[in-house]
Amino acid sequence: MKFFRHLLVLFCCTMLIGKAWPQVNAEKLTIDADDLPWQQVAEILQKQTSSRLYYKLEDFDTIRFSIHKSNVSLKTILDELFQNTDLQYTTYQDNSIFITRNQAIRASLPIGFFSSGIVEKSEDDEIPEFMLNMAASSTEGNLESRLLTIGRGNGNGTNGEAKISGYIKDVATGEPMIGALIYKENPRVGVATNQLGFYTLTLPKGRHELFIQSVGMRDTKRQVLLLSDGKLDIELREDIIPLREIIIESERDENINSLNMGVEKLDIRTLKQIPTAFGETDVLKVALTLPGVQSVGESTTGLNVRGGSTDQNLILYNEATIYNPSHLFGFFSAFNPDVLKSVEIYKSGIPANYGGRLSSVLEIATKDGNKKKFSGSGGIGSLTTRLAFEAPIIKEKLSVTLSGRTTYSDWLLRYVPDDAIKNSQASFYDLTAHINYNINEQNSIDLTGYYSDDRFKLNSDTSYNYQNRALAFKWKHMLNDKFFSVLTSSYSGYKYDIYSSQNPVNAFDLKYNIDQLNTKLDFNYFPNETHDVDFGISSIYYKVLPGSFLPRGFESLVIPIDNEEEQGLESGIYVGDRIMVGSKLSVYLGLRYSMFNALGPREIYSYADGFPKEESTIIDTTYYGSGPYHTYHGPEYRASLRYLLGENASLKFSYNKMRQYIHMLSNTTSISPTDTWKLSDPNIKPQIGNQYSIGLYKNFRSSAVETSVEAYYKDSRNTLDYKGGANLIANEIIETDVVPTEGMAYGVEFLIKKMKGKINGWVSYTYSRSFLRTASDHPSETINNGEYYPSNFDKPHDFTLVGNYKFSRRFNIGLNATYSTGRPVTLPLTKFDLREAERLHYSNRNQYRIPDYFRIDLSINIEGNHKVKKIAHGSWTFAVYNLTGRRNAYSVYFVAEDGFINGYQLSIFGSPIPTVTYNFSF
Amino acid sequence: MKHHIYILILCLGALLGCRDPFEPPAIRDFDELIVIDANVNGTTGQSSVVLSISKALNSEDATAYISGADVYLQSAGGAVYDLPYQGNGTYGANNVYLDYGDKIKLHVVTSENGRYESEYEEFIETPEIDSVTFDADSEGVQFYVSTHNTDNSSLYYKWEYFETWVFRSAFDSNYIYDTYPNGNLILSSIRKRNALQIDSMRFCFRDNISTKILLGTSENLSENIISENELFYSSHAQGRFKYRYSVLVKQNALTKRAFDYWSILGSNTEDVGSIFDKQPSNFESNIVNANNADEAVLGYFSVFSETEKRIFIDPSEIPEHETSETLGDLCNPEVLRKWEPDIGYSPLSAEINGRYIVIEFADEASVSSAKCCDCRLTGYKEVPDFWEE
């Protein structure tokens, strides 16, 4: 082997020097050999030719050669020598001759390995070991083209299969790439990395070209020669905006091949390109640009996913549930963009490991933290300031990330020339701390802490304060190459506190609090390439203080209402399997069985059968002691199917059944700080929903352009709507103010996406409808006579364009255009005089619409100079939100003024809003 | 409070948010609905029922009243009170004296044989108003009402208020400009007004009544106390508090049902415009069409007792504030030349346009609108019965 190493080094050097070789065909050689071992024969030949002979001595172990030739070409000699042996040779560029046993070298060598040209073709797909362990080169191109040997050759030759396993990481930070794809083509075999960034891929022994993709990272590939089980770690580079994009021509892409449908994954770089109202990257606002994701209006972060209500989204921040994802009435989302890594939203095809919400799962992941060097980032914007640090505590092993964000809106308010505003306050901050510890290759631990706080006070009267708290612990453990487990324990809390003390007699203190403790254990078992099994259990314990309304101060006469706390236990067990059925068909079958135990102690009212639930129809009060007193349970079926249609297209189906045991009580159209969450109990049944979807996916131009059409139909029941004039605050008998409704939603989403090249972005159009219908027979519990009525977020037409143009590495322009049908509203139909004033009689619920919505935003990003080794990078973002200054109606309303009715439309942003943000990282 | 959220949000929206007038898409397909505004004061016996037809939102037509209906009240005890037609859609009587706890029902039979019936409404006692108080600031005056009851017979309250105040004309018009024909000429003269006349145009009374639905409840308090419930806010505009001001507050105790009706009616039209608005909704009237329960009937049958409290406010009770004594810009006097000798033309006669002369100079006169000089055009002179100096 030593000899070969020398040879190879030489070979490489010569390659690198790029020295021209003389024409060898003209060379005439003479040889006289009698029963000589190959080594001597080779020496004789090598002396007479400028060509290099490459071989493995072992291959010639027992063979001895006899040959007598003069003035003939090398080819003639070799042909004769190897006649009747299993030795073969391949010449390359007329100056290198590879001699191998059993098979000729595959001549079509990896791109870039040699300058160009192929001498001889071979049907074989194998290459011998000697080409391995090439001198390392730092460029990606070389990594991609260099052939890597996996394992060791042995007598078994190339029969059978072997496993490649390893970690895929970010080269800059050492962060494991979760869900990165590694696959080969023809036939396609691939896997995704697990939570540790680890993968195992079983392939036939021999030579393979492996493609590696991960969101936000530059696609890459590796040439491997698989001899036996072995390791291959891969480091990916961030997809920094190159001037000339190198498109890795992977034949088919994630969107075509994966079983996922209705899933969008956006990385922080994509998020950053999209202009927002206050110049700050906002996960939830970007989610709103995706097809099928809508909101009721401008200043809300409440997402309506495919016609579902805002409480039907499971928002996970590093696995911890976040109940109120907004700051400052919804102008900002509660997540600091500096520490975000990616956001993934499941609109359909939700796998069995998720449960608890009907419509979607929004998984927000933070960066693991830089394990190589201390780094940081931050930004100064027109309303907020933020800062984040990432520090390796133990190099390559343990890193800590800290971030904070706050606003100076309080300070700004003081300068508003209006007394009411001057006396108002509004502020928020949020903090994230994250520790990531890669104990060893089998174990990794994450600990995330999150805290957000909002407070505002209006005209020195009522003070509002709300907080999200979350703590998540995650232990990823690899049992073996095929078996992986993740243990997650998290705590989430949300509370608000509203008080007023202006009038001592009515001074009150209104509080709400929800805490949840969540533990789950997930396993991933990967027996072979045809199966990928997930299974696990989870349990969530909820404790809700549904609202206490207490006197504040000695003089207050407010009757203390201290609603009994609610407790519940939501448990789930699931199993799911991704099965490759042949080369075209792949299916996912999953089953989740969920159960909810309402836990005592608690008092529950019973209502007369056949009567509407009203205070007057309470017939009994039952007191339950500690422990479960009411149980709901049921299966949740999950299934997906993918069928490949040729190289660049696929057809997918999915079916989901979901159950939701916790309900948001909100009587307003947008998310408001006084929204509360209520657990299911004997009077409030769990929400149950089904979704059927079908999608067609096709990629063009080597997957540079992805297109898809997805259609869905959803139904749901036991979702809550409210009686007119419902009181939801600290209401002890909430069931008398809500009405269970049945929902129906359907839609078609068209998406064209181009994420590569100078111009990138996506265009989507969605046609969707969303309806509700009250299920009760009692007039007092029906809305619109029990007919279907459009939900608050039924916006049939929705068009979005998100575009980005890179002028140069340092300069890019983002454009965002949105059009949607105005949301439904209830309008007055007629006016009448009552007690000498005009009054209004309203239409049935949501029978009319506010004017259509249209907005264009523009942003310009200017990066500082692009030296990779600079100490700190700065960038400026200049953005204009609502460029056309269109006064989009947020709502319309009618008001009696001096006894007359006047109609108004309220716009939140009535003119262009320019912002400047400075971002930096070091 | 909600309004403040709205303002605050607008400010944060870089002070750029806005509200614009909104004309709803022509809603033509509405049914003309019957409106029954029925009120019975069981203490005074005054009862009136106004029947009308609802109007399109953009209608500026006069209200269409319904005449020829048969309207009567029927007590649970069987007594029947006829309410004869009195014109303008009003049916009334003044002999409906009730005892607390009495229940009474309204019947309306229209000439087209529509039969409308109310639920039985209970006549409940309204406690006295304890006090009407106020807080003045530089912009205006905030009024509060306080009341209490010894028992929980009435936890829900509704108020109305009637403002009366003395105001002064912006200017005294000291001269009269007269024109009279003389052959083909129109001659004019300027003469001094007498002091009595000037005086009669100087001070008048003006009224304003509440149009908002003002409600309060002690439902969530341990005692039936309404403590300084915010009632209304009056700005210094129109010189309300410049001389002497009085407000009469009327209080009705309501049933829970009536309270819900009025509060939803109010929140549909008054408590709206913030980003956290509730869904508007219709709350069913206590009157239904006996033949067709699906027909929407607008209006409400209220049976109530009433207590009231009047207070007076002198300017000395209001802190210093800036108020224009005039009726805003409308009263800016204009100076006109009386005569242009060169052209033989009188700008005054051509441009006075019915305005009054405030003051006269040698060549010029300063004029202002009649309304600014004669308070009787916007107010009245008769001292109200209740007025106390």
Report the C-alpha gap between A820 and A888 in whole angstroms.
11
Helices (H), A337-465: 409-413, 419-422
Give Cα B304 distance to the centre of its chain: 20
Q: How confident is the model at residue A632 (pLDDT cuts 50, 70, 90)?
A: very high
Contacts of B57 in chain A (CB under 8 A): 828-831, 840, 894, 901, 903
Task: Say which of A503, A668, A901 has its CB closest to residue B276.
Answer: A668
pLDDT score recorded for residue A507: 84
Nearest of A524, A579, A530 to residue A202 by alpha carbon: A530
Distances (CA, A) of A540 to A56, A489, A594, A662, A812: 62, 10, 11, 11, 45
pLDDT digits (tens, 9 = 90+) for A134-174: 323 334 556 777 777 777 765 555 578 888 888 888 877 77
Q: Is the pLDDT of residue A24 over 70?
A: no
Label residue B272 by pLDDT band (50, 70, 90): low
What does the pLDDT average to over A331-341? 86
Residue A58 tokens, joined:
């072992």
**Do B17 and A906 count as a contact with CB atoms less than 8 A apart?**
yes
Q: Are strands A263-267 and B18-21 parallel, antiparallel or unpaired?
A: unpaired
Q: How far is B165 from chain A (nearest CA, A)?
A: 18
Cβ contact A842–B282 (<8 Å): yes
Contacts of B278 in chain A (CB under 8 A): 667-668
Closest chain A C-alpha to B340 CA, distance in angstroms: 46
- Report the residue of chain A nearest B293, measured CA to CA: A779
Q: What confidence score (pLDDT) does residue B321 get?
A: 65
For residue A727, the model assigns a pLDDT of 72
Higher-scoring residue by pLDDT: B16, B225: B225
With contacts defined as CB-CB under 8 Å, which chain A residues touch B18? Answer: 887, 906-907, 910
Residues 6+ apart with CB under 8 A from B252: B126, B157, B158, B159, B302, B304, B305, B306
Residue A2 has what pLDDT?
A: 43
Chain B positions touching A459 (Cβ under 8 A) are 1, 4
Q: A500 has which bridge partners? A: A508
Contact B10, B29 (CB under 8 A): no
A-to-B residue pairs, Cβ atoms closer than 8 angstroms: 231
Q: Is the pLDDT of residue A769 over 70?
A: yes
d(CA A102, CA A82): 11
What pLDDT band is residue A459 in, cutting at 50, 70 and 90?
A: low
HSE-CB for A700 with a 13 A CA cutoff: 6
Q: Is the pLDDT of residue A363 over 80?
A: yes
Q: CA A201, CA A208: separation in Å to the nearest integer?
A: 12
A172 contact partners, CB below 8 Å, separation of at least 6: A237, A238, A370, A372
Best A428, A841, A900, A909 member to test B by mutation, with max B CBs in 10 Å, is A841
- Provide the 8-state DSSP code for B61: S
Gap between the Cα atoms of A389 and A399, Å rounded: 10
Nearest to A725 among B4, B263, B299 (CB): B263
In sequence order, the 6+-apart residues with CB closer than 8 A to the CB of A616 are none
Say if the Cβ atoms of B30 and A461 lie within 8 Å.
Answer: no
Torsion of CA A895, A898, A902, A907, to 10 degrees: -60
Pick the most confident of A381-385, A609-613, B158-162, B357-361: B158-162
Q: Indicate the SS3 state at residue B372.
A: helix
Q: Is A206 left (phi over 0), alpha (psi -120 to 50) or beta?
A: left
Residue of B nearest to A561 (CA): B220
Of the candidates B211, B275, B300, the beta carbon closest to that of A837 is on: B211
Tell me which residue of A771, A801, A668 sits closest to A306, measured CA to CA.
A771
Among the residue ranges A717-721, B20-24, B256-260, B313-317, the one predicted with the least confidence is B20-24
Q: How far is A763 from chain B (nearest CA, A)?
A: 28
CB nearest B260 (choices: A725, A899, A903): A725
Q: Which residues contact A341 (CB under 8 A, 6 or more apart)?
A: A175, A267, A268, A365, A366, A367, A368
Mutate to test the interface with B, among A672, A823, A893 (most CBs of B within 10 A): A893
Least confident range of A13-17, A834-838, B319-323: A13-17
Higher pLDDT, A611 or A770: A770
Contact B298 A898 (CB under 8 A): no
Interface contact flag, B24 A426, Cβ < 8 Å: no
> What residues of A are in contact with residue B52 (Cβ under 8 Å)?
832-833
List of residues 6+ apart from A371 with CB closer than 8 A: A173, A174, A175, A392, A395, A396, A397, A398, A399, A436, A438
Report the gap between the CA of B148 and the closest CA in chain A (Å): 12
The total number of residues shown for chain A amounts to 922
pLDDT band (50, 70, 90) for residue A667: low
Cβ neighbours of B269 in A, within 8 Å: 839-840, 894-896, 901
Whole-angstrom distance, CA of residue A505 vs CA of residue A762: 57
Residues 6+ apart with CB under 8 A from A296: A302, A304, A669, A670, A792, A793, A823
Of A421, A826, A845, the CB nearest to B11: A421
Identify the residue whose tokens are 């300068």.
A415
**Interface contact A328-B12, CB threshold 8 A:** yes
- For residue A499, the chain B residues in CB contact (below 8 A) are none
Q: Do B211 and A329 touch (CB under 8 A)?
A: no
pLDDT category, B301, cuts 50, 70, 90?
very high
Average pLDDT over residues B68-79: 92
Average pLDDT over residues A198-226: 83
pLDDT at A249: 37
**CB within 8 Å of A526: residues ≥ 6 apart:** A191, A200, A481, A482, A483, A484, A532, A533
Q: Quick one: pLDDT at residue B4?
A: 44
Q: Is the ipTM of this complex over 0.90?
A: no
Q: What are phi and psi of A297, to 5 degrees?
A: 180, -175
For residue A484, the distance in angstroms to the closest alpha carbon of chain B comes to 46
Q: Which residues contact B260 (CB under 8 A, 6 or more apart)?
A: A725, B283
Give the three-class secondary structure for A794.
coil
A chain contacts of residue B296, beta-carbon cutoff 8 Å? 841
Assess whether pLDDT exceeds 90 at residue A765: yes
**3 state SS of B144:** strand
Give the residue, A175 or A654, on which the prediction is more confident: A654
Token representation of residue A418: 């209006």
Residue pair A498/A510 in contact (Cβ under 8 Å)? The answer is yes
Cβ–Cβ under 8 Å, residues A340 and A362: no
* pLDDT tens digits along A374-427: 988 998 887 889 999 999 998 888 999 999 999 887 766 666 555 656 667 788
Nearest CA distance, B179 vs chain A (angstrom): 39
Average pLDDT of chain A, as a whole number: 80
Chain-chain contact of A908 with B27 (C-beta, under 8 angstroms): no
Residue of chain B whose alpha carbon sits nearest to that of A420: B4
Name the more confident of A458 and A444.
A444
Residues of A in contact with B19 (CB under 8 A): 904-907
Contact check, Cβ <8 Å, B225/A557: yes
Chain B residues inside the 8 Å CB shell of A826 = 279-281
From A450-464, A562-576, A849-863, the region with the lowest mean pLDDT: A450-464
Tell me the average pLDDT across A494-504.
85
Indicate if the pLDDT at residue A79 is higher than 70: yes
Contact B1 A549 (CB under 8 A): no
Is A649 strand, coil or helix?
Answer: strand
Residue A349 pLDDT > 80: yes
The Cα A259–Cα A639 span in angstroms is 10
**Whole-number Å distance between alpha carbons of B210 and A898:** 8
Separation in Å, CA A66 to CA A83, A87, A88, B284: 12, 15, 17, 112
A725: confidence class by pLDDT, cuts 50, 70, 90: low
Which range is least confidently modeled, A113-127, A612-626, A775-789, B135-149?
A: A113-127
Q: Which two tokens stand for residue A771?
A: 């309806």
**In the structure encoding, which two tokens stand for residue A908, read together?**
């939140």
CB neighbourhood size of B11 (10 A): 21
A281 alpha-carbon distance from chain centroid: 16
Closest chain B residue to the Cα of A903, Cα to Cα: B22
- Pairwise CB contact (< 8 Å): A329 & B260: no
Per-residue model confidence (pLDDT) at position A16 = 35
Q: For residue B48, what is the nearest residue in chain A, using CA coordinates?
A: A835
Q: Find the CB nearest B280 among A277, A842, A906.
A: A842
The C-alpha of B321 sits at a distance from chain A's nearest C-alpha, in angstroms, of 16
Q: Do B12 and A670 touch (CB under 8 A)?
A: no
Q: Is the pLDDT of residue B383 over 80?
A: yes
Query: CB B345: neighbour CB atoms within 10 A?
Result: 12
Chain B residues closer than 8 Å to A822 by CB: none
Contact: A834, B223; criterion CB under 8 Å = no
User: Which of the four pLDDT bands, split at 50, 70 and 90, describes residue A14?
Assistant: very low
Stretch A122-140: mean pLDDT: 36
Distance CA(A134)–CA(A144), nearest Å, equals 12
What is the spatial distance between Cα A283 and Cα A334, in angstroms, rounded to a whole number?
A: 9
Contact B220 A836 (CB under 8 A): no
What are the pLDDT digits (tens) for A225-279?
A: 888 888 888 888 776 543 333 333 343 467 777 888 888 888 787 777 777 767 7
By C-alpha distance, the chain B residue nearest A416 is B11
pLDDT at A513: 93
Residues with Cβ within 8 Å of A432's Cβ and at least 6 positions away in sequence, in order, are A336, A339, A366, A388, A401, A402, A403, A404, A448, A449, A450
Find the helix or strand (DSSP H, E) in which B266 lies.
helix B256-269
Contact B269 A901 (CB under 8 A): yes
Distance from CA of B21 to the nearest CA of A (A): 4
Pairwise CB contact (< 8 Å): A895 & B272: yes
CA angle A109, A111, A113 (to 5 degrees): 70
**CA max distance for chain A:** 127
